[in-house]
Structure 1
Amino acid sequence: MGTLGILWNLSSSDTLKDRLARDTLEQLTDLILIPLSGTGSAAVIQQNASEAEIFYNSTGFLRNLSSASQQTRQKMRECHGLVDSMVNYINSSLEVGKSEDKSVENSVCVLRNLSYRLYDEMPPSSLQRLEGQRRNDGATMTSELVGCFSPQSKKARELYVNSDIVTFTEVSKDPKGMEWLWNPQIIGVYNRLLQRCELNKHTTEAASGALQNITAGDRRWAGVLSRVALEQERILNPVLDRVRTADHQQLRSLTGLIRNLSRNARNKDEMSTKVVSHLIEKLPGSLSDKWPPTDVIVNIIAVLNNLVVESPIAARDIVYFDGLRKLFFIKKKRDNADSEKSSRAASSLLTNMWQYSKLHRDYKTKGYRKEDFVGL
């Protein structure tokens, strides 16, 4: 136990992380993580007090290592049993009502960190097969997909990406290793954490951060997982529940996640009715308001913009929930580089809002003219 505590302390040093990962990961996983997480057994965690402390120190050590270099992240992803142990411990803890457990926090943080830049760092062959080809390209994907898919499965499922139907072999019900990081089942794990973890903000922040990572970017699979989160896991309400009481650090990952989801949502009208009021509430409307970090403001405005370009309901609700006043305030405030970034985002959104001619009367009633929307 003492040795693990020392390793945890040493892993705080960025200069030591890569070497520690190289020298310790396999033994740590085989001797501690796999047996103490319940992996490979009846999936029931049985730890005495000493073993619980050992597991906690081990996951804290891994948490530090996972924030190191790309090389170390990749070594951790590929370490047999490591990711499985993290997922199994979280799932088993959720089953027995231990979502607040500190080892759960560490484990979720490990998964979040290993999900960072996942699509850029995963094996190219796996990425190519995950991305597949669209059916309307005249090619079938069924025989091409491996990794988180079961190559023996002949049953196909259909998910929609943009307006295209993408067919792929049935996702494996028993993902292994790093496959967990991008398997749709992991979204359910993060969703349960968001719903059941009430006190430990670090756990819910890590869960939303992991979701943000795997739904980020223009990759096809990021879009697929976004739709799984929205349509199968119904994750938007739990996320918005967190937004209501989130501190600024939590808002970074939560609004980043909503930004990704809003890009990929098929029904922008439905999403607008759910999110606009909650997000407008978080925007500053005067100098006396408590300003969230710039990246949170930019995330919120980006969500609104993603919705407005396809949904008149989003534009209407921005007006109804006093969003115009806040957006014009943000647009006019340009006293430093951060506020300049927020201002440009607000300006772009307001320009797009002017496209809805049926709302012009409402805009004028609020005291705004065309020049306010489309001018600098």
Structure 2
Amino acid sequence: MQSLDMATAVRYLSESNATLQVLGAAYIQHTCYHSNEAKHQVRVLHGVPALVKLFSSDNEEVQRFATGATRNLIYENAENKAALIDAGGVMRLVSVLGQPDEELRKTITGVLWNLSSRDNLKEKLSKEALSELTEKVLIPLCSSVPLSPSERDIFYNTSGCLRNLSSVNERTRQKMRDMRGLVDALVSYIQQEDRADDKGLENSLCVMRNLSYQLYTELPPSVRLRLEGPTRASASGKGEAIGCFTLYNKKDTERNQNLSILSEVSRTPRGAEWLWHPSVVALYKLVLQNSDSSGNSREAAIGALQNITAGEARWAAVLSGVVVEQEKMLPVLLDLLDTNSDMELRPLTGLLRNLARHSASKDYMAKTTVNVLVAKLPSDGLQKTSSCEVVVNICGALNHLVTCSSLAARDISYFNGLPKLIGIKTIHDNSSGSLKAARAASTVLCNMFQYKKLHKDYKLKGFSRRDFTDVTV
């Protein structure tokens, strides 16, 4: 190789002699490892289409070196990625995914993962590679856990690619949910993988979180109807507006309806059903209870729980009940608040906000959570920790409790939450995040003042009506 130059190496790729093809590909692989100029040369010399042709070679050594050269060629190089796509490289790569050569499979899945990092390529990859990755790689590997070190690398690459694809848009999410065996395989891997810090486990959880995003609005109408049952309006018998106190007074009726729906789908989940089935809550709980889980894995599990408990859908309320009452996860979630990682706090406080919204017993929720939530609030709106998004979530959770529970309002005052809420409301900059936090804190204070029996306690602590009702923010 020392006597070669790039033009000769590229020319060797088109020779009929396999030895020369290997030599040319090896030279490209070696020189492109660190050199952006070499990557440019290969593209200018039309080496990319020549490499793509070698992916389907009958000679495994040629395939290994051609795909290895391509891996280095496209690394951090958008132009070469585009050239690979234009040369039909994705279809050629996936056509040999089923071969038993683990080194080749590792390289191919690595190339596909690399390509999937670019948003403008994700849809094309979902069309040309998703089915093959699922059928030839994901499902077989998840059926043979524990994996060998080489298989782990292949699964890591594959799940990383799926993680990227699942983040692009609704159309791709729907395609992945509908892909036979994909969700089942991910769940199987999460259930079986005993190494909490495994990168493939992290990727699998992130795919589950991404596929849970906007789940209730993206479900097929037939599935949504089965999950939702009678609408709240028809269940009430009249079309009157339903406020928080109305729902609270009718919580037994609502609870019975939810339990009825729950029984309809209590069978073993299959495919995409895992995303919203009550059993998945226990799956995420195990991840959160494992002290060895990585921060990214915890964030993904919390994010998935946040997604499936979000919004006004009845099923979000059902699964919130599973989280709080069946799996008794509140203590686990509140313990996780003891972190300074905003990456974890954002979905965690968002989840607690959802649970507070849907809670069948606001008093129980208040007794359990108010002191911990108040402790997490900053003293005013100028502090940078916790972030504005976290503050808005915490205030949202407190407000859902306060509007239906005088106990929540009492405990906010008892645990010295009033100075914090007033500080957030009145002392802030004019950034959009700070203003949202100020409005959220103001809403909590305004609703706390609705309980006249607590006015005396507020006054004894030195607070006046103006502290609660001034909504100039």
- The interval holding the TM-score normalised by the smaller chain is 0.7 to 0.9
Q: Larger deviation: 263-272 or 355-364?
A: 355-364
Equivalent residue, structure 2, for 1:156 = none
1:269-290 CA distance string (max 9 Å, x none): 1111111111111111147744
Secondary structure of 1:12's counterpart equals coil
Deviation at 1:220, TM superposition (A): 0.9
Equivalent residue, structure 2, for 1:86 = 186
Taking the TM superposition and a 5 Å limit, the aligned residue runs for 1:295-334 are 295-334=389-428
C-alpha contact 2:288 2:332 (8 A) present in aligned 1: yes
Q: Which protein is richer in helix relative to its size?
A: 2
Matched, 1:15 2:111: no
1-side partners of 2:232 and 2:290: how far apart? 39
Paired positions, count: 349
Taking the TM superposition and a 5 Å limit, the aligned residue runs for 1:52-91 are 52-91=152-191
Taking the TM superposition and a 5 Å limit, the aligned residue runs for 1:36-185 are 36-38=141-143, 45-93=145-193, 97-133=194-230, 162=254, 165-166=257-258, 167-168=260-261, 169-185=263-279
1:25-70 CA distance string (max 9 Å, x none): 11111111111112xxxxx613111111101111011111110111
C-alpha contact 1:135 1:165 (8 A) present in aligned 2: no
CA RMSD in angstroms comes to: 2.1
TM-score w.r.t. the length of structure 2 is 0.70
Matched, 1:2 2:107: yes
Pick one of 338, 341, 355 that aligns with 2:433.
Answer: 338
1-side partners of 2:127 and 2:340: how far apart? 37
C-alpha contact 2:382 2:428 (8 A) present in aligned 1: no
Deviation at 1:364, TM superposition (A): 1.3
2-side partners of 1:220 and 1:287: how far apart? 34
State the 4+ residue runs in structure 1 displaced beyond 3 angstroms.
134-138, 159-164, 286-290
CA gap of 1:197–1:33, structure 2 versus 1, over 3 A, is farther
Structure showing greater relative contact order (alpha-carbon pairs closer than 8 Å, 6 or more residues apart): 1
C-alpha contact 2:380 2:428 (8 A) present in aligned 1: no
Deviation at 1:329, TM superposition (A): 0.3
Amino acid at match of 1:352: N
Amino acid at match of 1:310: C
Q: Identity of counterpart residues, as a percentage?
A: 49
Secondary structure of 2:129's counterpart equals helix
Deviation at 1:163, TM superposition (A): 5.4
Q: Larger deviation: 364-373 or 77-86?
A: 364-373
Taking the TM superposition and a 5 Å limit, the aligned residue runs for 1:281-296 are 281-286=375-380, 289-296=383-390
1-side partners of 2:252 and 2:130: how far apart? 39
Equivalent residue, structure 1, for 2:243 = none
CA gap of 1:346–1:75, structure 2 versus 1, over 3 A, is same
Deviation at 1:245, TM superposition (A): 1.8
Computing the radius of gyration from Cα coordinates, the structure with the larger value is 2
CA gap of 1:326–1:103, structure 2 versus 1, over 3 A, is same
2-side partners of 1:339 and 1:72: how far apart? 35
Deviation at 1:213, TM superposition (A): 0.5
Matched, 1:209 2:303: yes
Amino acid at match of 1:175: P
2-side partners of 1:170 and 1:126: how far apart? 12
